[in-house]
């Protein structure tokens, strides 16, 4: 079955060329079985497309408006009906495409998704899952920014959704779920985390307990659950620290001739390292918990990141991720009703 993706071509900081190139690379990949409808400004997209020789499985729908990074998501989505983001979700709602991929204003993508798709039945709060590289393989962190004030139930459901995502994307049968906290014991952490620990412990999920910030990059866990404030801080802190470390290393290396020669010899290792930790390899961050499929790509996405973002969306559709979330939510919630109620009640 061909999966049909709507790609917002107006979002990237790097311009429409990278986005269009990513789409073309995606459809041309062997066994891809993809069709991509690109949405965006006619001049920009047509000039980007003109650089390729009439690729098959690429459509174009011109849109006249753009939602910028600075705009208020909810206002922009309500007013800019002919923006690439809004038209993309409208196509998805009408069943004309299977998923939306955007590197634009992530708040606006979330707002449009909520307006046009709504939540998956039983999900209290959709959220954003992000993939990190670790020493042993990828780890999924959820939520990384959609929900800044959460209840235990919300974190619990992030665990369910991220578990399905890790399973369909990385082929892990029973993803190990860790709860981000500041001590391994169940009694450690803030009140949100302590209550969430109880919920997860009583569920049938593969919950391995609390994990600390230090454990994030060890690869001993497949899913890390946290609220969107903490997750977003972690995401940006990690990006900032990785950049700072490489900058400092280069500063030290550039101080002596000998070290500069050493760097020249070792530079392929540096490049391989960069590739290993490059978010572009993982493509995009899916919005999970929606009545539909959407993937947010980084604002500075390369064509490789866009291509992989499209593949992430395709994998979610191919593997019926939303159907699996519905089933898992029902399964693990059996017998949890009382706990849910009491936890909600004490807040």
The residue ranges that bind its own copies (CB under 8 A) are: 134-135, 145, 148-149, 180-182, 189-191, 193, 212-218, 227-230, 232-245, 247-249, 252-253, 255-256, 258-270, 272-273, 276-277
Sequence-separated (6 or more) residues with CB below 8 Å from residue 97: 4, 5, 6, 37, 88, 91
> Reading across the β-sheet that carries 138-142, which strands appear in turn?
58-62, 34-40, 3-8, 99-102, 294-297, 284-288, 127-133, 138-142, 223-225, 177-180, 207-211
Nearer to its own copies, 149 or 338 (CB): 149
d(CA 341, CA 149) in angstroms, rounded, equals: 19
d(CA 276, CA 73) in angstroms, rounded, equals: 33
Q: How far is the CB of 157 from its own copies (least distance, A)?
A: 18
Whether residue 5 contacts residue 34, with contact meaning beta carbons closer than 8 Å, is answered with: yes
Q: How far is the CB of 79 from its own copies (least distance, A)?
A: 19
Rg (CA), the chain: 21
In the numeric block, which tokens belong to residue 186?
A: 């169940």
Nearer to its own copies, 54 or 214 (CB): 214
Nearer to its own copies, 216 or 322 (CB): 216
Whether residue 304 contacts residue 26, with contact meaning beta carbons closer than 8 Å, is answered with: no
Nearer to its own copies, 97 or 305 (CB): 305
Whether residue 48 contacts residue 16, with contact meaning beta carbons closer than 8 Å, is answered with: yes
Nearer to its own copies, 172 or 242 (CB): 242
Residue 199 sits at φ, ψ, to 5 deg, of -60, -50
Residue 129 sits at φ, ψ, to 5 deg, of -100, 140
Nearer to its own copies, 169 or 238 (CB): 238
Q: How far is the CB of 84 from its own copies (least distance, A)?
A: 23
Q: How far is the CB of 230 from its own copies (least distance, A)?
A: 6
Nearer to its own copies, 92 or 235 (CB): 235
d(CA 250, CA 230) in angstroms, rounded, equals: 30
Q: How far is the CB of 340 from its own copies (least distance, A)?
A: 21
Q: How far is the CB of 165 from its own copies (least distance, A)?
A: 21
Q: How far is the CB of 347 from its own copies (least distance, A)?
A: 12
């Amino acid at each position: 079955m061909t999966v049909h993706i709507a790609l917002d071509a107006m979002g990237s900081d790097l311009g429409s060329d990278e986005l269009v190139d990513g789409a073309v690379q995606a459809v041309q990949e062997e066994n891809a079985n993809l069709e991509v409808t690109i949405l965006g400004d006619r001049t920009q997209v047509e000039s980007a497309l003109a650089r390729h020789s009439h690729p098959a499985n690429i459509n174009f729908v011109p849109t006249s408006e753009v939602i910028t990074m600075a705009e208020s998501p909810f206002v922009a989505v309500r007013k800019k009906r002919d923006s690439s983001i809004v038209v993309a979700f409208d196509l998805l709602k009408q069943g004309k495409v299977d998923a939306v991929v955007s590197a634009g204003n992530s708040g606006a993508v979330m707002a449009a998704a909520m307006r046009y798709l709504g939540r998956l039945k039983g999900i209290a709060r959709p959220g954003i899952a992000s993939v990190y590289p670790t020493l042993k393989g990828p780890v999924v962190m959820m939520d990384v920014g959609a929900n800044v004030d959460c209840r235990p139930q919300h974190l619990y459901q992030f665990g369910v959704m991220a578990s399905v995502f890790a399973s369909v994307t990385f082929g892990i049968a029973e993803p190990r779920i860790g709860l981000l906290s500041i001590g391994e014991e169940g009694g450690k952490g803030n009140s949100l985390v302590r209550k969430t620990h109880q919920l997860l412990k009583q569920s049938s999920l593969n919950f391995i307990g609390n994990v600390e910030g230090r454990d994030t990059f060890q690869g001993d866990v497949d899913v890390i659950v946290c609220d969107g404030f903490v997750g977003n801080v972690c995401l940006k802190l990690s990006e900032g620290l990785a950049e700072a470390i490489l900058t400092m290393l280069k500063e030290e290396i550039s101080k002596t001739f000998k070290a500069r020669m050493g760097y020249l010899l070792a530079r392929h290792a540096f490049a391989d390292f960069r590739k290993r930790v490059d978010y572009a390899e993982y493509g995009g961050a899916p919005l999970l918990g929606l009545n539909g499929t959407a993937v947010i790509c980084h604002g500075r996405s390369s064509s490789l990141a866009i291509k992989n973002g499209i593949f992430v969306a395709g994998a979610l559709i191919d593997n019926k991720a939303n159907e699996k979330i519905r089933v898992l939510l029902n399964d693990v919630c059996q017998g949890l009703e009382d706990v849910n109620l009491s936890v909600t009640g004490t807040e």
